[in-house]
Structure 1
Amino acid sequence: MNQHEQAIQDLLAKDFGTIPDLIRAHASFRPQHPAFIQDGITLDYEALDRRMDQVAASLQRDGVKPAESIAICAYTSIDYAVAFLGSLRAGVTVAPLAPSSSAESLVAMMKDAGAKALFLDGAVAEQLEPVAGQIDIPRIRLDADADGHAGANKAASEFDNWLAAPGQRPKAVDIQPGWAFNIIYSSGTTGTPKGIMQPNFMRWGHVQRGAVHGYGINAVTLLSTPLYSNTTLVSFFATLALGGSVLLMAKFEANAYLALAEKHKATHTMLVPVQYQRLMAVPDFDRYDLSSFHMKFCTSAPFSAPLKADILRRWPGGLIEYYGMTEGGVSCILIAHEHPDKLHTVGVASLGGEIRLIDEEGKEVAAGEPGEIVGYSPAMMTGYHNQPSKTRDAEWYDPSGRRFIRSGDLGRFDSDGFLLLFDRKKDMVISGGFNIYPSDLEAVLRQHEDIADAAVVGVPSERWGETPVAFVVARPGSSAGSETLLAWANERLGKMQRLSALELTDVLPRSAIGKVLKRELRDAYKGTVA
């Protein structure tokens, strides 16, 4: 172990530390090592450290105090990352917001977070124009032109002009473990977005465990999911904390992703299941040299066992699936390459964590019985920002008084203690008094050679209370009609599982991180069922 690696290990061994301090150490030992790469532009650790100082000094100049917050709403760019990291150095909480949100929702989230400034790009600036009068905080444009996707320093941007002079150092801040590191707003797939407050000690715990998965000074992590997503940030911070390089894609495209991975010899990646699906479907996938990969990660949506098996067979390196929540607590890990016989599960509780299953009354269920998944882990949110009642609703306490977080998901343990995931509690269909899990029906539908993707939702029924309806995406070239597919599925489903209707659709509505928006499907369904 060299001096650099020893210094980083010493920092990570502390009960608490900060990611900006780790980046400073990397800048000292390997100043010219790439921290970020995007669209042919590289920012090394020395330059990143200086830019972070400029951001922190500028926020202090503008009166933004430690533990106060700023918001960032933009597409992925190097300057987005710099603004995020520099704010952390000032002890400022970051609220990364999704550009896909409505203008009204963005205003509401900024106000809820108490943001003192907004970093944005041209696309978001245009989106916010109708509500600009409601935004009374400074707005700093990260891009030099209006397309919102560049972030490539084509010309001096507002961000460049806003920054303090090069070489200016901020006042040192004694960052506290319990201060909010970031406020991540829920996707809104279950209603009004909630601000999930993740404390500094939670992120510190994440990066301390990074070395277990091979992150280090030689890691090259390819990220194509957005920087406002916790899915992305888990790998983003682990890579930087341990001195690796982050390769950024503003927009995912399967062939471009594979070309970048090959060119830069990517070692790590975090993808959502729909991205894996599109990558594995690339006709010439096998011609790309992906032998540099050490570990691939997946999270955020159901990940089918056949897809996992295909990845293990054709894509070098390990595969790890995370099942968990931005709120923390519920945290499972499936090391797929070590447990190829458990690909139908989401694994076991992560290190230091615990998973329980409870019934409607909040009591633990008997062994082998399904129940709502609740979890404890060393990394948990402090609560929902400004929403104490929703925080209480999300908590469950065991008889000893230990705090768990409720997932709203339903699952069951197998005989080896691996967790089988069913569905979100709200998505379970109760038809004629029977519980129907949409994931079971979707798994059957995906077995048909003409079906590329499927989602099942419950719709009102006069006869049954609720009944399942399927939305199906056909494979290119398929001529199978909806009635044919419906009859095929119902021949294979149990009597109480049978679909009342099946609709063909060109695409399933998804969030930016790949979750099917089932509420939109339910709202869009115009059919009637008995």
Structure 2
Amino acid sequence: MTNEINLEKGVPVAVEPVPGSLEFWAAERRDDIAIVDGDRRLSYGDWNDLADALADAMSDAGLGKGSVVVVRLQIRHEWAIVAAACAKLGCEILGLNWRLTPSEVGYILRNSHAQALICDDERPDALLSTPEEFPLRLRVSFDSSVGGFLAWNDLVSRHARPRFSKEEAPLIIYTSGTTGFPKGVKVGKVAPRSSITELREYMQSVTQVRARTADEIVLITLPMHHGAGPATVRAALATGSLMVFLRRFDPEAVLALIDRERVTSWTAVPTMYKRLASLPDDVIARYDVSSLKMLGIGAEPTTPELKQWIVDHFGPILWESYGSTETGMICALMPAQQAIRPQSSGLPHRHVTIEIRDPDGQSLPAGTDGEVWVRTPVTITNYVNAAALGQDTLDDRGFFRTGDIGRLDTEGYVFITGRAKDMIISGGVNIYPAEIEAAICKHPAVQDAAVVGIPDIEFGEQVKAVVELKPGASLEKAALLSFVSPLLASYKRPKTVDIVDALPRNTMGKLLKRELRDPYWVGRERQV
């Protein structure tokens, strides 16, 4: 037991580390390595000392409970230090996409009422063109101390008294902003209709899907401005698992790290697995991946062919998850279920209810495609510093409109078939791009495909495919159209095909279809 001074009341109080917290592992396993990041190896004790020092500096700057700390970093271990420091002070941590422009950064700083910014930009001063506009108490940079930014090393090298966290730092994630301005979500906050017991049982259901132990070695390749990246860090810390960070995704580098560090667990998006699959067989065979016990996949629908490739190369260890920033995790498909329902995203977690509805909001029977509405114990009621959600997004029963198209089968398995906003209406017929993309991706030369609707005088919209080939592959457009012809009904077949070097994606690897679709609709009164 450690004596700590309560600064608010000025009296000594007895403090014990919360089990699973950084302070707990620093006391129990101080010299054990907790994090690997390139050549850097950080023990639990050093991690905790750095977090104490940073918390001290943040406190001196006037940050405390409820302060929003914006963190714009590559996939690097310092995220874990900042998250721990925020937990010690009760600050909220906001993961910010490193690809956002200064104007986009400025919008989020203002919208979130941020009080601190920590970044690893080469020119951090360029983020704040008019710093006076942003009332930040603290600005921290990793590589320079220009424009009012303090140097990271100066802050974490100070000697500081121990601090103890009571719970994890609240996490804020901003949506990608593919339509309109990005919107902030406080992740994991209990919904008004749910009890603490339901929240606890729901979280247990989510974590038990991929239960970890202290001997796990977790590879992290997902960014911290998406819910999955911070969730992986939190889960690893809770069980005392070793974390291995990879700052820039490279498929062969992933295999090399799995081999070198004996990685047991890795969660990635379909694009990352597709890039692994595009490596020559002799390159894949060069690395020992037998240490893997769990592979996770999510963020967008996955084709059965890709799932089968993963199982063939790594064994029956694939977990698939489906969720959203606004609702948390919704369902999971475990390895044993992959052979039973390979096209499914799995069964709902405990205390999760899913309804499939038509455009008028009426529930649809099993086996019928419609819009996916979800109620979970962490479904949001409003975005950060915004009004309550309207009935078109959150109904009176607490169901959230995900924007996905899908169906349920008679046993409750969830099948996600596309996005409502991606749907193409041609001659009055609804066409779902995901089905067409899956057919195109069956061609051995195709790495990935995006299908969008473009203007058509007669039918309103026509189907257009944009295709990315595997490295070194070649394919004629006519040959591809001929290949998919027997796989798709005539009205679903692409009318035109473009073959590009690379499809536009965000940092999570999700396709940015708007960038492909919008140029065709410029100047038109209607977008469908």
Asked if structure 2 preserves the Cα contact closer than 8 Å seen for 1:57 and 1:164, the reply is no
Instruction: State the one-letter code of the partner of 2:152.
Output: F
- For residues 267-306 of structure 1, what are the structure 2 equivalents within 5 Å? 267-283=264-280, 284-306=283-305
Question: Structure 1 residue 158 and structure 2 residue 151: aligned?
Answer: yes
Residues 72-91 of structure 1 correspond to what in structure 2 (within 5 A)?
72-91=71-90
- Which one of the candidate residues 430, 433, 441 is aligned to 1:438? 433
**Pairing 1:265–2:262 present:** yes
Which structure 2 residue ranges, 5 or more long, are not aligned?
1-15, 192-198
Establish whether residue 502 from structure 1 lines up as the match of residue 501 from structure 2.
Answer: no
2:409 is aligned with 1:410: no
Asked if 1:460 is matched to 2:460, the reply is no
Q: Which runs of 5+ in 1 are unaligned?
A: 1-16, 147-156
Report the Cα distance in structure 2 between the residues aligned to 1:276 and 1:37, rounded to whole angstroms: 22
Q: Supply the distance in 1 between the matched residues of 2:390 and 2:89 (Cα, whole angstroms).
A: 28
CA–CA distance in structure 2, aligned partners of residues 193 and 19 of structure 1: 35
- 1:328-355 CA distance string (max 9 Å, x none): 2561111134431311111111233222
Question: Equivalent residue for 1:66?
Answer: 65
TM-score, normalised with respect to structure 2: 0.86
Amino acid at match of 1:306: E
Equivalent residue of 2:399, what SS?
strand
State the distance in 2 between where 1:385 and 1:491 align: 48
**Mapping for residues 26-41 of structure 1, pairs under 5 Å:** 26-41=25-40
Deviation at 1:525, TM superposition (A): 4.3
CA distance in 2, matches of 1:405, 1:129: 35
Q: Equivalent residue of 1:523, what SS?
A: helix
**Residues 1:127 and 1:278: Cα distance change in structure 2 (over 3 Å):** farther
Task: Quote the Cα distance in structure 2 between the aligned partners of 1:195 and 1:448.
Answer: 39
Q: 1:18 to 1:344 in 2, by over 3 A?
A: farther
* CA displacement at 1:411 relative to structure 2: 0.5
Inter-partner Cα distance in structure 2 for 1:108 and 1:440: 36
The aligned length equals 495
Q: Are the aligned partners of 1:120 and 1:139 in contact in 2 as well (CA < 8 Å)?
A: no
What residue number does 1:236 align with? 233
Any residues of structure 2 matched to 1:76-475 within 5 Å, and which? 76-123=75-122, 125=124, 127-128=126-127, 130=129, 132=131, 134-144=133-143, 158-163=151-156, 165-170=158-163, 181-199=170-188, 206=203, 209-210=206-207, 212-283=209-280, 284-316=283-315, 318-328=317-327, 331-390=330-389, 393-397=392-396, 401=397, 403-475=398-470
1:128: how far off? 1.6
Q: 1:410 to 1:77 in 2, by over 3 A?
A: same
Q: Which amino acid aligns with 1:166?
A: H
Q: CA–CA distance in 2 between the matches of 1:40 and 1:77?
A: 12
User: How has the CA–CA distance of structure 1 residues 113 and 243 changed in structure 2, closer, same or farther, with 3 Å as cutoff?
Assistant: same
Q: Calculate the TM-score normalised by the size of structure 1.
A: 0.86
User: Aligned partners of 1:466, 1:124: CA distance in 2, in Å?
Assistant: 44
Q: Determine the C-alpha separation between the residues in 1 that align with 2:208 and 2:141.
A: 32
User: Residue type of the partner of 1:56?
Assistant: A
Rounded Cα–Cα distance in structure 1 between residues aligned with 2:462 and 2:226: 33
Q: Which residue of 2 aligns with 1:521?
A: 516
Aligned-partner Cα distance in 1 for 2:138–2:178: 28
Q: CA deviation at 1:139?
A: 5.0
Instruction: Give the 3-state SS of the residue equivalent to 2:363 in structure 1.
Output: coil
User: Could you tell me whether the CA contact under 8 Å between 2:52 and 2:161 is conserved in 1?
Assistant: yes
Verify the 8 A CA contact 1:329 1:405 in the aligned structure 2. Answer: no
The share of aligned pairs that are identical, in percent, is: 27
CA distance in 1: counterparts of 2:92 and 2:304, whole angstroms:
38
The RMSD of aligned alpha carbons is 2.9
CA distance in 1 between partners of 2:222 and 2:328 (Å): 23
Task: Give the drift of 1:35.
Answer: 1.7
> How far apart are residue 238 of structure 1 and its match?
0.4
Cα contact 2:227–2:325 (8 A) shared by 1:
yes
> 1:149: which partner in 2?
none
Change in Cα spacing, 1:208 to 1:138, as seen in structure 2 (3 Å) is farther
The answer for the alignment partner of 1:3 in structure 2 is: none
Q: Which whole-Å CA distance do the structure 2 matches of 1:19 and 1:393 have between them?
A: 41
1:270 Cα offset (Å): 1.1
Q: For the residues of structure 2 that align with 1:524 and 1:507, how far apart are their CA atoms?
A: 17
Letter in 1 for 2:477: S
